[in-house]
Amino acid sequence: MASIFSKIITGEIPSYKVAEDAHNFAFLDINPIARGHVLAVPKTETDYLFDIADDRLSDLILFSKRVAKAIKKAIPCKRIGIATVGLEVPHAHIHLIPINGIYDIDFNRPKLKLSPEEFREIAENIVQNL
């Protein structure tokens, strides 16, 4: 069965998309721990990030770099932190999270509650900075 991220990539499930290339797709996390929290996902479904073939993993990292630079321009922050967890969705992905300190990358903190308008505005800002 297709993963929830594969369904997002095909458009079966809606998302706030920020970027796409031949092999990768990026969209806002629906339960963000920070404004501009993005997931970068390879289009080919692999559960564990480090099982991805070297060339596709390189593509994903370079794609994430491009997206991270756009997030950094769109959202005031010191850096874009990256994390891979993968315990909830078995489709490898990289979390790109605007941070000002280590405390901003704590997945136990309460998730932000954003309106559809806020999600749209954040996604548009990132897209404009790609």
Rule CB under 6 A: which residues touch ligand 5GP?
A: 4, 13, 15, 27-31, 39, 85-89
Verify whether residue 23 is a known catalytic residue: no
- φ and ψ at 46, to 5 degrees? -135, 135
Q: Whole-number minimum distance, CB 31 to ligand 5GP, in Å? A: 3
Helical pair 54-74 and 116-128, crossing angle rounded to 10 deg: 110
Using CA atoms, how far apart are residues 120 and 30, in angstroms rounded to an integer? 12
Please identify which of the residues 37, 91, 93, 95 carries the catalytic annotation. 93
Question: Whole-number minimum distance, CB 117 to ligand 5GP, in Å?
Answer: 16
> Among all residues, which ones are annotated catalytic?
93
